[in-house]
Structure 1
Amino acid sequence: MAIACGMTVANLYYNQPLLADIGRTFQVNANQIGIISMLTQIGYAVGLFLFVPLGDMRERRQLLCILLIAVSVSLVGIATAQSLIWISIASLLVGVTTVIPQMMVPLAAQLAAPSERGKVIGTVMSGLLIGILLARTVSGIVGGALGWRTMFGIAAVMMLLLAVILRVYLPKSYPESKISYRQLMLSIGQLIIEHRTLREASLIAAMMFGSFSAFWTTLVFYIEGAPYNYGSEIAGLFGLIGVAGALAAPIAGRLSDRYNTKYIVGCSIVITLLAFVFFWLFGNHLWGLVIGVLLLDLGVQGGQIANQSRIYSLAPEARGRLNTVYMVSTFLFGAVGSALGSYAWSLWHWNGVSAVGGSMVLIAFTVWGWHRMKERKSSYNSRNNGLDATVHREGGA
């Protein structure tokens, strides 16, 4: 399941190190070509909303195989694109159909014992996160050597092979809910209203991933110019640095099983903020970029796992829908981050990108801190009310 998550989620990120090459093919600037990354993530958010809830009411293996065939066709569309509009539509469809990982993660949570849920989620997520990061490395190398179209053709073949493998080896999984699709979709709104933790976790994850996307979408434009003058191959190799952060995912999962996940989320936000401090102050030095990438991936992924451990314990029968709310929020703001990052780059270059990413992380920290203050105030009022009731009873006695 971890390998399948990594292979499929990579489809969303192959384009990032290749944006400059794709832009030259269609003779458009950085701001215009940045729409490809944005549309891919918008498509992913749409696919999450439409398809992931089905995991709560349909057999998952068949659904996964159908989606893998669909994403393969969409990748062929990118590989054969002849215009910016064509590749934009195909990129949107790749996003819509590449939702397999977010069906795998709730399934892993369903199969895990409650005492090991964080560890299991961390293991599966480590595959997903390594796929996100190595996608950039692989596409940078393949695109630099064989052209960007070849990368998407290879990806299409890989998805067909994976469909066959999952059909043979993945066990059948039976839904925990027996409701109609209409009822299923309506219940998503009810889950948002009922669970404050879901709202908090989703907003924090959205801001964190938005900052993550702003950085990765614009990195290739930054290192192509002075003082680096690197090509797409080197841009992809930065993904290898982030793997170190992704490998910490199982550790974050185990910490989530042992300690209060709320404070693990807080630590993750601070680590991510430090990453953007490094990008702002030391981004013109290679060591500054390297340390920033390590901190960025460690912070974002650690927060992601801790937040998912929180939400999956809220309503076991609705894990697919809970994940839908969480991930739709995450990738919608991932698209916003990509767009803002490209826009900031076109106006203010690297400092603008660092400011956009850092601002989104600060919003996440504000949300986290506000909820902690509300909890402390609620706890304080509860203790005082209990004390007042005790004094009243004793006085009456």
Structure 2
Amino acid sequence: MSSAPSTPTPAVRRGGGSSAGRTPGGTGTSRGSGPFLALIAVCTAVTAANIYLAAPLLSLIARDFGSTPSAVAWIASVAQLGYAAGLLFFAPLGDTVNRRRLVTGLTLVTTVALIASAVAPGTGALATAVFVASAATVVPQLLVPLVAARAPAARRARHVAAVIAGLFTGIVAARVLGGLAGQAFGWRWVFAGAAVLTLALGLATALVLPSERQPRHGSLFGGLTALPGLLRRSPDLWRASVRQAGMFGAWSALWTSLALLLTGPAYGLSTATAGLFGLFGLTASAVAPLAGGLVDRFGAARVVRGAYLLAAVSVPLFWLGGHVIWALFVAAVAIHAALVASHVANQTLALTTTSSPATANTAYVVSGFAGGATASALAGTAFTHFGWGGVAAVAGVWLALGWGLTAVRRGRR
């Protein structure tokens, strides 16, 4: 999809973003709104859920394989690492490859991998299948640049927010419905059902995508090699990527470990009941449109600053939640609101700061998920050795790194 020069959006200009990027927009099309946007949001919800299927099922998986939940917690991190790897190799292709064919191929690979997960004979085979499924589950990040490019300039953040709302709805569905279905039918049927939904929604989305001939620049995976240089040339993209890595890492540390706390001695809840806790994630779906409007009106920088302050408040509340349940309720709402507000602002900035939106989006999302996967892995170890307080400490450190590193670099500049 070729792009024409345009002025930066109000959100980017007020938010401290670079105006060097070339982004199509300002006119909008029927494909960028209405039923087309709704289908993309639903497809995003279904595919994003695949990355988080294992988290609410850890207790059931451990029981099936004769292990303990903390001993299989690393599988949730494998899913995030797989997604980051898929983003590195596949998402940049959105600038050079026909999206319809790419979405179709990735949908088929994801479906096969989810079926392999459902019949996995052990943790090694399950982790491998989850890694492949997550690596191929990059369809949302192929569609977000398309939505942003076709949105009217004054409403770009709102359109991006609609897709992000679908993404977080999928995350909530993975935790809530995954936990309930796993308790009722077994964890293997959860992966099998996800395979069916992924196939149906992925192919339906591919059918309605515009058939476009992308300009080919360099090698097929040239976007991958261009990532480091793109981050160096765009301070705004670098800042958005690091800040989202800190935010997403804090969220991942807390959220992927939450099932261990809720089903452990502190609360002793069942997998299904613990899964219902994910309903607090609906905060994200409600906040996304509001955050999009705030970014379009006030700019990305202010929204991200407010999101970090809210996340900083949520961390001690999560720590307190290791002892009293009401604190977990408040903290869950706060961390989801902070994450989605930060995500809408940072991703809108990332998509509008360079002339290669798909590649820039890859750098941004890979940074976020790499931060999330690393924090999740550390949180699992921290929970084993230090309990829930260790998990809260990991989240606090990740927030401090995300903001502190960007503040230092900005000050030096």
Partner of residue 172, structure 2: 133
- Tell me what 1:189 maps to: 228
Q: Counterpart of 1:343 in structure 2: which amino acid?
A: T
Give the number of the structure whose alpha-carbon radius of gyration is greater: 1
Equivalent positions of 1:1-397 (< 5 A) are 1-175=40-214, 178-315=217-354, 317-370=355-408, 373-374=411-412
Q: CA offset at residue 365 of structure 1?
A: 2.6
Deviation at 1:226, TM superposition (A): 3.5
Shift of 1:25: 1.2
Stretches of structure 2 that go unaligned for 5 or more consecutive residues are 1-39
**What displacement does 1:161 show?**
1.2
Determine helix, strand or coil for the equivalent of 2:53. coil
**Separation of aligned partners in 1, 2:410 and 2:188:** 48
For residues 144 and 197 of structure 2, the distance between their equivalents in structure 1, rounded to whole angstroms, comes to 21
1:339-376: CA deviation from partner (whole Å, max 9, x where unpaired)? 111001101111111111111112223234435545xx
Which protein is richer in helix relative to its size?
1
Structure 1 residue 171: deviation in Å? Answer: 2.8
TM-score, structure 2 normalization: 0.87
> Higher mean Cα deviation, 295-304 or 232-241?
232-241
Contact 1:266 1:365 in 2 (8 A): no
Distance in 2 separating the partners of 1:173 and 1:113? 20
**Equivalent residue letter for 2:84:** A
Asked if structure 2 preserves the Cα contact closer than 8 Å seen for 1:76 and 1:156, the reply is: yes
Q: RMSD of aligned C-alpha atoms?
A: 1.6
Distance 1:211 1:59, change over 3 A: same
Whichever residue aligns with residue 343 of structure 2, its letter is Q
- TM-fit CA distance, 1:185: 2.9
Q: For residue 114 of structure 2, give the secondary structure of its aligned residue in structure 1.
A: helix
CA contact (8 A) 2:43 2:202 kept: no
Alignment gaps of 5+ in structure 1: 379-397
Residue in structure 1 matched with residue 6 of structure 2 by the alignment: none
Deviations 1:67-99 (A, max 9, x none): 011000000111001111111111111111111
CA shift for structure 1 position 184: 2.9
Conserved in 1, the CA contact under 8 Å of 2:111 and 2:199? yes
TM-score by length of structure 1 reads 0.90
Q: Which amino acid aligns with 2:227?
A: I
Tell me the percent identity: 33
SS at match of 1:283: coil
CA distance in 2, matches of 1:10, 1:48: 16
Q: Which amino acid counterpart does residue 372 of structure 2 have in structure 1?
A: G
3-state SS of the aligned residue for 1:247? helix
1:364 partner amino acid = G
How many pairs align?
374
